[in-house]
Amino acid sequence: MRTLVRVLVIGFGAVIVLLAAAAAIGVNNARSIARNSADLVSDQLVITRLMDEVEREQEVLNTAFYRLTRTPESVDRATVLADLDETDRNIGELLASASGGPDRQIWRDLSVATMNFSSEARKLLGGGIAEASPLNLFFRHEEVTAVAARLVNLSYSRAQESQQKVDVQAADLATESAGLVGGCLVVALGCALVTVKIAAGVFRQMESNTGELSRVSFRMLEAQEVIARRFSHELHDELGGSLTAIKTNLAVLAADPSDPARLEDCVKLVDESISNVRELSQLLRPTILDDFGLDAGLRWLVERFSERTRIPVEYRSTFDGRLPDETETHLFRIVQEALTNIARHSGATNVSLHLRADNGFVRLTLSDNGRGLDGERHGGMGLSGMRARAHSAGGELKLTSKPGEGVTIEAWAPRELTSPK
């Protein structure tokens, strides 16, 4: 589950980063396109204003020149000069605002041509046709027109360059956006595939755990039936037989109280019955586990195992505290099941058991020098039950074995110490 969450976080983080990068690139390109468009519009406005002013001054001069040649007495020279002054001021302001940058030489040429044109016009208006040459005015006007045409051509070239830049940036923006969107899709698909793969593995593990749990439940029911059958036989054969014999002896003693052999036999049968009841009780639930804890319970268990099987067990313990009852029971039963498997299947001649506390956990390590397990026997019912008990205690169980090299079982559970009873 942690791996699945980590993959999802990394995937969504990568997608968010790519989308943020796409947004930043888009905003940057949009600003660049806006700047180029603004420069293009500004250049067009400047050229348009310049041409308007030149045409206005030309219109004023054409009108004055026409009147001077036709009806000189009707020309109001002061008004025409005032119009020329206003036009000169407008052109001067326009030149001052647009004369910077790489085109300043052309703007200087336009400024000189405009001043020459205006000076020649003033001579014509001030002294009349006789004192000024209209041909010179025509030449000055041609100079202004030529420089203005150069500016128009330059503006047109700039507009084409700006348009090409806008087109290139728009194409780059589309390409980069497509690449980033494609990258987002690839990352999203990759994360989705990894997520699906992990989820499928989790589901398979859940199905395996469910099957194992079903097998363990069946084994537990089967074990309960076996235990019930065994206790039934023990009670019937041992305790029932003893009680029947005691009843017979008591009947004989009732008729002849002076028979000491019968009395001694009754005492002996009662002792055997008490011993059998105590043994059955220990098999069901060792009282030493409840009274003294896991360490004492394991010591008692390995001693009984060695007495019964003649297999020596080296027991070491560095833990003497108490654990929750459920945890102690699960760990005790794990060792009990492991020792039973060793006695039945391993052929071992030596067993070691180590109980210790380690970083907030209680660890059990049980190993033998028997024949070991092959791959087909690693998932037996007994091992499944031990794993289920380890999981129920909040821990894990690990088994390592090679044919001919024995078996090592390590189980651990959270310590969660409780106060001694």
> What pLDDT sits at residue 281?
67
Query: Does residue 276 sit within a domain?
Result: no
Residue 330 belongs to domain with CATH number: 3.30.565.10
Of 195, 223, 244, the position where a domain reaches its end is 195
Mean pLDDT of the chain, nearest integer: 75
Q: What is the mean pLDDT of residues 42-64?
A: 64
Residue 18 belongs to domain with CATH number: 1.20.1440.210
Of 195, 224, 252, the position where a domain reaches its end is 195
Of 157, 176, 195, the position where a domain reaches its end is 195
Helices 325-341 and 381-392 sit at what angle, rounded to 10 degrees? 160
Q: Which domain holds residue 43?
A: 2-195
Contacts by 95-98 with C-beta closer than 8 Å and gap 24+? 97/46, 98/46, 98/50
More confident site: 395 or 139: 395
Query: Does residue 372 sit within a domain?
Result: yes
pLDDT tens by residue, 157-168: 777 777 777 778
**pTM, to two decimals:** 0.46
Most confident of 111-115, 146-150, 235-239, 318-322: 318-322
Q: Is the pLDDT of residue 409 over 90?
A: yes
Three-state DSSP class for residue 233: helix
Indicate if 68 and 175 belong to the same structural domain.
Answer: yes
99 neighbors 108 (Cβ within 8 angstroms): yes
pLDDT tens by residue, 196-225: 777 777 777 777 777 767 776 666 666 666
Indicate if 300 and 191 belong to the same structural domain.
Answer: no
pLDDT tens by residue, 269-290: 788 777 777 776 666 667 788 8
Domains: count for the chain:
2
Indicate if 170 and 305 belong to the same structural domain.
Answer: no
Indicate if 61 and 182 belong to the same structural domain.
Answer: yes
56 neighbors 144 (Cβ within 8 angstroms): no
Q: What are phi and psi of 314, to 5 degrees?
A: -90, 110
pLDDT tens by residue, 348-376: 899 999 999 888 899 999 999 988 876 54
Q: What is the mean pLDDT of residues 320-330?
A: 87
> What pLDDT sits at residue 345?
82
Query: Does residue 216 sit within a domain?
Result: no
Indicate if 178 and 299 belong to the same structural domain.
Answer: no
Indicate if 32 and 152 belong to the same structural domain.
Answer: yes
Sequence-distant (6+) residues with CB within 8 A of 216 are 381, 384, 385, 388
- Alpha carbons within 13 angstroms on the beta-carbon side of residue 257 total 1
